[in-house]
Amino acid sequence: MTSVERFDERARLKAERVGRDVVHRGELLRHPVYTRVLHWLVAIAFVLSLLSGFALYSPWLFRFLTPVFGGGPMARFLHPWFGLFFDIFFLFQFLNWLTPMLWAETDTRWLKRIKQYTTNEDKIEPAEVGFFNGGQKLYFWAIVLSGVLFLLTGLLMWFDHLVGRWVIAVSYVIHDLAALLMLAGFIVHIYEGTAAMPGTFHAMTNGTVTERWAWTHHPAWYRVVTDRDPREAYERERRRQAERERAIEDLKREQDAREGARESLPDDRAL
Amino acid sequence: MGEMNNHISLLWSFGSFGFSISINISPLRGCDRDTLSEAGMSNPRTFQIQEISAHPGPVPGQGTRREEEVCKYIDVTTCIGCKACEVACVEWNDHPFRETTFDDTYQTMPSTKWNYWNLIKFAEDERNGNLMWLMRKDQCMHCEDPGCLRACPADGAIIKYENGIVDFQQENCIGCGYCISGCPFDIPKFNEKTKKVYKCTLCSDRVGQGLEPACIKACPTGCLHFGTKSDMVQIAGLRAKQLREVSGFANAGVYDPSSIKGTHVIYTLHDIDTPERYGLPRNPVIPPSYTYWKWLAKPTGLLLAGLGLLAVFFHRVSVGPKLPQPEDPPVITEYPDQIRAKRKEQP
């Protein structure tokens, strides 16, 4: 165990002691406090890096984005620091998530049916999809790759007096490519985490998801944490829902009948 | 002429029909150089006489053209390495004399610095088994296609005038140092204290007042010349011809590299085939990062990012969200056929 991992573990334990997870009935704990805090630290550092970086990325963005950071020189001064913090925070998230993010056979199969996934053809994910699906793992490894490229090329451009002009010129392009890769993943990530999959954002704020969410999007994980079959759980829920609907219909019909009977009675006051 | 103003200038000209108002909104706010307002105010052609009343014969000076591109011409073959130009540069630009590094040569310091823009480079070479001392005045070349300007991400930090002078505007510089890697001649220098980059201005302040650059003024041998680009190219060519035909330098030629569309500082060299001997790049180039990548690939990347945003938005609108299953039945107060029936009632 490296010293960084030891530190990571200590930080995790401390975060768990300080933070609180409230799990209601019908919910599952998906992300503990440590993961959530790390996620948002990485997210804040990333958004700041992205905005300050895009201020310098293109002449068409310079005038829009530099004022956000107090002008061009300030944006240029802050950007490497934002980036450095992004990389440091992400290192901990990397250690935290390395095991569940390891690529498996099932992820390759998941990627092959990406079309069915994006068109919502399958309402429920295949039973083999675990804690993270192939897409999430792909994004994770894209961040790892970009993070390394950002750091290497960023340091070269930060300490540009130590290297030749062609090294800077090449770093400049690689830094941009890494940023565009990250931006593409980021757009999809935010969309999938909010509007595309209701209930997902809750996992990063309160840490919990509903059981329904779990067996729909990550059935294999549902099986691990509940020791129940996700498909059966879903079918049972469906039957319950149908029964509930039937009961409501019966109740309504009963009420309608009662109201109908009352209306047909002669109105005393009219006489 | 009326009051000069950086933003709006009124231009009266009685000679032509009525008056004209020219509004000159300068992108370089806070820059109060006469050369700038001059460029907007009095175009050299504005007061050139076009017609004269009751004047027999042609209008004097009709059809004259004023050449605007300036150029510094350095004849390295007549440089004696006196460094008067270095001193003049330091004096005119009010730079304190800085610390130097002695490296067993006659050179004042190994390379130009942020506050030392003009440096004679001494190269010890060989010709016919004898020592040949090559002295070249090193400074900004004022490229026609400036790599520093192409690389700069800060709006208004580097400008190029119509006369070819490339000038840094430190108030807009953000100190990223991209210009340093964009320059094929290693000219822009970073100041750690101010976090800005500086270089030779070709004395744009002097040139704007009709004076030659300070280095030219100081040169005792006349190896430095200043004038229009075409004049300087002509003189340099004549000198190169003389060197070839009279002085026995068969390869003498003019250094005005076409890979950056020429420069506004040109040299005659004893041997044009090996400019490396003078510390000049044979084929100076701007890295493609600051040309094709910056002005072609980057906007494409932005466009793709914008399309990506639109794509996820319309995915939400058309395909809709992935809801946890089983979905709760939507709360319907009225059925579609009822709604349609209502619409028919109220056209």
Confidence at residue A4, expressed as pLDDT on a 0 to 100 scale: 67
Confidence at residue A126, expressed as pLDDT on a 0 to 100 scale: 94
Confidence at residue B30, expressed as pLDDT on a 0 to 100 scale: 45
- Per-residue confidence band for B21, with pLDDT thresholds at 50, 70 and 90: very low
Among A residues 65-104, those touching chain B with beta carbons less than 8 Å apart: 66, 71-73, 75-77
d(CA A198, nearest CA chain B) in Å: 6
Among B residues 260-299, those touching chain A with beta carbons less than 8 Å apart: 287-290, 293-294, 297-299
Three-state secondary structure call for residue A179: helix
Tell me which of B325, B327, B328, B335 to substitute to probe the interface with A (most A C-beta atoms closer than 10 Å).
B325
Q: Does A174 touch chain B (CB under 8 A)?
A: no
More confident residue, B314 or A9: B314
User: Can you give the residue ranges of every domain in chain B?
Assistant: 8-40, 70-290
Confidence at residue B44, expressed as pLDDT on a 0 to 100 scale: 59
Determine the Cα–Cα distance for residues B298 and B63; give it in Å rounded to an integer.
45
- Per-residue confidence band for B141, with pLDDT thresholds at 50, 70 and 90: very high
Interval B266-293 mean pLDDT:
95
Beta bridge partners of B123: B134
Helices (H) and strands (E) in chain B, counts: 10, 12
Confidence at residue B4, expressed as pLDDT on a 0 to 100 scale: 38
Determine the Cα–Cα distance for residues A69 and A134; give it in Å rounded to an integer.
36
On whether the pTM is more than 0.95, the answer is no
Residue B305: which of A183, A198, A241 has the nearest Cβ? A183
The alpha helices in B7-83, defined as continuous H runs, are 34-41
Given a cut of 80, whether residue B20 has pLDDT beyond it is no
Given a cut of 60, whether residue B22 has pLDDT beyond it is no
Which two tokens mark B82? 């006196």
- Which chain B residue has the Cα nearest residue A239? B326
Determine the Cα–Cα distance for residues A248 and A85; give it in Å rounded to an integer.
55
Interval B173-181 mean pLDDT:
96
Q: Which amino acid is at B6?
A: N
More confident residue, B66 or A91: A91
Q: Does B305 touch chain A (CB under 8 A)?
A: yes
Residue A119: which of B153, B319, B326 has the nearest Cβ? B319
Terminal alpha carbon distance of chain B: 70
Residue A198: which of B287, B299, B321 has the nearest Cβ? B321
Given a cut of 60, whether residue A109 has pLDDT beyond it is yes
Given a cut of 50, whether residue B10 has pLDDT beyond it is no
- Per-residue confidence band for A234, with pLDDT thresholds at 50, 70 and 90: very high
Q: Which amino acid is at B217?
A: K
Three-state secondary structure call for residue B101: coil
**What is the residue-averaged pLDDT of chain B?**
86
Given a cut of 80, whether residue B197 has pLDDT beyond it is yes
**What is the residue-averaged pLDDT of chain A?**
92
Which two tokens mark A258? 């009662």
Q: Which of A177, A147, A172, A132 is nearest to A46 (CA)?
A: A147
Q: Does B182 touch chain A (CB under 8 A)?
A: yes
Confidence at residue B331, expressed as pLDDT on a 0 to 100 scale: 66
Interval A151-163 mean pLDDT:
95
Confidence at residue B42, expressed as pLDDT on a 0 to 100 scale: 55
Q: Does A76 sit within 8 Å of B175, measured CB to CB?
A: yes
Q: Which one is the CATH code of A3-228: 3.40.920.10, 3.40.50.300, 3.40.50.1220, 1.20.950.20? A: 1.20.950.20
Q: pLDDT of A185-219, one tens digit each?
A: 999 999 999 999 999 999 999 999 999 999 999 99
Interval B38-49 mean pLDDT:
62
Do B201 and B306 touch, CB atoms closer than 8 A? Answer: no
Confidence at residue B3, expressed as pLDDT on a 0 to 100 scale: 38
Given a cut of 50, whether residue B16 has pLDDT beyond it is no
Which two tokens mark B336? 């579609």
CB atoms within 10 A of CB B335: 9
CA A107 from chain centre, in angstroms, equals 17
More confident residue, A78 or B66: A78
Confidence at residue B328, expressed as pLDDT on a 0 to 100 scale: 80
Confidence at residue A57, expressed as pLDDT on a 0 to 100 scale: 93
How deeply is B258 buried, as exposed, middle or buried, from its count of CB atoms within 10 A (0-12, 13-18, 19+)? exposed
Q: pLDDT of B74-117, one tens digit each?
A: 999 999 999 999 999 999 999 998 889 888 889 999 999 999 99
- Which chain B residue has the Cα nearest residue A237? B326
What length is written for chain B? Answer: 347
Interval B9-26 mean pLDDT:
37
Q: pLDDT of B242-275, one tens digit each?
A: 999 999 999 999 999 999 999 999 999 999 999 9
Q: Which of A158, A238, A56, A254 is nearest to B298 (CA)?
A: A56
- Per-residue confidence band for B5, with pLDDT thresholds at 50, 70 and 90: very low
Determine the Cα–Cα distance for residues A212 and B327; give it in Å rounded to an integer.
9
Interval B55-67 mean pLDDT:
82
Residue B312: which of A59, A187, A197 has the nearest Cβ? A187
Q: Which one is the CATH code of B70-290: 3.30.70.20, 1.10.3470.10, 3.40.50.1970, 2.40.50.140? A: 3.30.70.20
Terminal alpha carbon distance of chain A: 93
d(CA A200, nearest CA chain B) in Å: 10
Confidence at residue A265, expressed as pLDDT on a 0 to 100 scale: 65
Among B residues 149-168, those touching chain A with beta carbons less than 8 Å apart: 153-155, 157
What length is written for chain A? Answer: 271
More confident residue, B104 or B337: B104
Interval A56-80 mean pLDDT:
95
Determine the Cα–Cα distance for residues A80 and A49; give it in Å rounded to an integer.
8
Instruction: Give Dmax over CA atoms of chain A in angstroms.
Output: 104
How far CA A104 is from CA of A95, A110, A146, A241, B346, in Å, comes to: 18, 10, 21, 35, 60
Lowest mean pLDDT across A256-265, B77-86, B302-311: A256-265
Q: Which amino acid is at A59?
A: P
